[in-house]
Amino acid sequence: MKALVLTGGAGRTLVPFSSTRPKAMTVVAGGSLLRRTLTHLREVGVTDVTVVLGQNGEKVRQAFGDGSSVGLNIAYVTQDRPSGIADAVLAARSRFIPGEYFILAYGDVVTSGNPFHQALQSFNSFKGPIAGVCLPGPPTGRYGNVYLRGTRITKIVEKPTTGGMGNYVLAGWFVLPTESFTWLDQCGANMERMFDRLVESPSLHASIWEEGWMDVEFPWDVLAANRMVMDTWEEARISKNAVVDSAVTISGPVRIEAGSVIKSGAVLAGPCYIGRDCYVGNNVLVRSYSSLGPASLIGYGVELKNCVLFGNSKVGRLSFVGDSVIGENVDIGSGTMTINESMDRSTSIQIDIRGQNHDSGLTKLGAFIGDDVKIGAGNTIAAGTVLAEGSSVPHHATVGGRK
């Protein structure tokens, strides 16, 4: 069976990270959301995948190329004018043979396990269309709401605005017949109407996913998704090609990739992840749920707590990065501190996204720093700060300097 993966979601509320990459290329637990989806497809025997690209789609091509790095054959289709899921699906219709079924997956959701195993089991049982559904956290009005009779789906309401909603929502993966392309045409490229057609005939059954699931919509969701994935880790994995000094303390499920160097006095508390070719300096404390992308450089005495670094970034000596997400190619000067709570330590952190205030609902939350940001030495960054890609913060000097 072939698969169609959509990656064109703009992620407007996921700034600053969605400004320079597709939402599906957001990083959690050492890998992008899309890499997890592609790996899960390979694990269930899929070999041919068509990926639909949208804004910043070149990032996907650069990461996966022909797909050989993830054991797949990947072809790409680009939406000329990204305008919704239906258009993305129709853009790839020539890649599929009439009369077959295919897997449709949204590349920007993350699960704690592989949902395609269960979806294909359901398909083999019912011999017909399947929609993955799950029980999300609130607010459920953000997702297509699903009504069930047993496992048969009786109604789908796309992003309902009124009460009386069903408990389940569309989770972002389906097994569909290729006739779906024709039905979409007949429905005026309207996904909701096409689902109505499936509900009526030939019938649409649910594959109910009861494990962890997230739609990463806001910057702080990256931290929650990272935690969800790491909570599935049960053992440490340390590459034989990593260099770990003898005086390093490691506890719990710590993963260290090839080429990384961990210097004397460092403490790594799992679950945590150290990507390829990282440098973790002397006396660094890497606390649970921290993820360092490839080529991260962490200076002497730094403390990292519940944070995600996408990779190729530097954190200068004696800094603290807590409950924060750091993009690629970021340079954080020595002695920089991220504040991760309010003064009364009980007020939830408010964050400004595109001029609109959002309540994170979290009392512990740091900063969200976009790609290519430079932060000078000695700075203190307030809780909930968002730094746009390419921005710069000068050194915080109390005396001296040019007059």
Q: Of the residues 182, 217, 252, which one is the last residue of a structural domain?
A: 217
Q: Is position 325 within any domain?
A: yes
The DSSP call for residue 142 is: G
* Cβ contact 96:180 at 8 Å: no
* Cβ contact 227:289 at 8 Å: yes
Looking at the structure, do residues 98 and 44 belong to the same domain, yes or no?
A: yes
Work out the number of other CB atoms within 10 angstroms of the CB of residue 344: 7
Looking at the structure, do residues 177 and 265 belong to the same domain, yes or no?
A: no
- CA proximity to 17, closest of 393, 367, 390, 389: 389
> What is the block-wise mean pLDDT of the chain (403 residues), using blocks of 10 residues?
91 93 96 97 97 93 96 93 85 93 96 96 94 76 77 81 69 95 92 88 88 95 97 97 96 98 98 98 98 98 98 98 98 98 92 93 97 98 97 91 62
Q: Is position 299 within any domain?
A: yes
Which residue range forms the structural domain that includes residue 125? Answer: 2-217
Pairing of strands 73-78, 337-338: unpaired
The CATH number of whichever domain residue 345 belongs to comes to 2.160.10.10
- Rounded to an integer, what distance in angstroms lies between the CA atom of residue 264 and that of residue 226? 27
pLDDT, residue 397, reads: 86
What are the counts of helices (DSSP H) followed by strands (DSSP E) for the chain? Answer: 7, 38
Q: Is position 40 within any domain?
A: yes
Give me 234's structure tokens.
Answer: 């049960």
Q: Is position 175 within any domain?
A: yes
| Encoded amino acid at 339, one letter | I
- CA proximity to 287, closest of 308, 261, 260, 310: 308
B/e letters for 14-26, b = 16+ CB within 10 Å, e = fewer, are bbbbbbbbbbbbb
Task: Domain count for the chain, please give it.
Answer: 2
Please give the distance of CA 37 from its chain centroid, rounded to a whole number.
10
Do you know the residue count of the chain?
A: 403
Looking at the structure, do residues 313 and 273 belong to the same domain, yes or no?
A: yes
Give me 376's structure tokens.
Answer: 């000078």
Q: Is position 401 within any domain?
A: no
The CATH number of whichever domain residue 95 belongs to comes to 3.90.550.10
Looking at the structure, do residues 213 and 246 belong to the same domain, yes or no?
A: no
Q: How many CA atoms lie within 13 A of 43 on its CB side?
A: 13
| Encoded amino acid at 370, one letter | G
pLDDT, residue 185, reads: 92
| Encoded amino acid at 373, one letter | V
- CA proximity to 181, closest of 90, 103, 76, 92: 90
| Long-range contact pairs involving 365-368 (C-beta distance under 8 Å, separation at least 24) | 365/220, 365/323, 365/340, 365/341, 366/307, 366/321, 366/322, 366/323, 366/324, 366/338, 366/339, 366/340, 367/324, 367/325, 367/338, 368/16, 368/17, 368/219, 368/220, 368/324, 368/325
φ, ψ for residue 363 (rounded to 5)? -90, -15
Q: Of the residues 188, 217, 246, which one is the last residue of a structural domain?
A: 217
Looking at the structure, do residues 259 and 210 belong to the same domain, yes or no?
A: no
Q: Which residues pair with 157 in a beta bridge?
A: 145
3-state secondary structure at position 365: coil
Looking at the structure, do residues 197 and 252 belong to the same domain, yes or no?
A: no
- Rounded to an integer, what distance in angstroms lies between the CA atom of residue 375 and that of residue 391? 9
Looking at the structure, do residues 199 and 336 belong to the same domain, yes or no?
A: no
Contacts of 4 (CB under 8 A, 6+ apart): 49, 50, 52, 89, 92, 95, 96, 102, 103, 104, 105
Looking at the structure, do residues 279 and 138 belong to the same domain, yes or no?
A: no
Q: Of the residues 170, 186, 217, which one is the last residue of a structural domain?
A: 217
- CA proximity to 109, closest of 20, 212, 4, 219: 212
φ, ψ for residue 325 (rounded to 5)? -125, 130
Q: Is position 103 within any domain?
A: yes
Looking at the structure, do residues 213 and 353 belong to the same domain, yes or no?
A: no
Q: Is position 209 within any domain?
A: yes
Q: Is position 303 within any domain?
A: yes
Looking at the structure, do residues 282 and 322 belong to the same domain, yes or no?
A: yes
φ, ψ for residue 264 (rounded to 5)? -55, 140
Looking at the structure, do residues 134 and 268 belong to the same domain, yes or no?
A: no
Looking at the structure, do residues 184 and 290 belong to the same domain, yes or no?
A: no
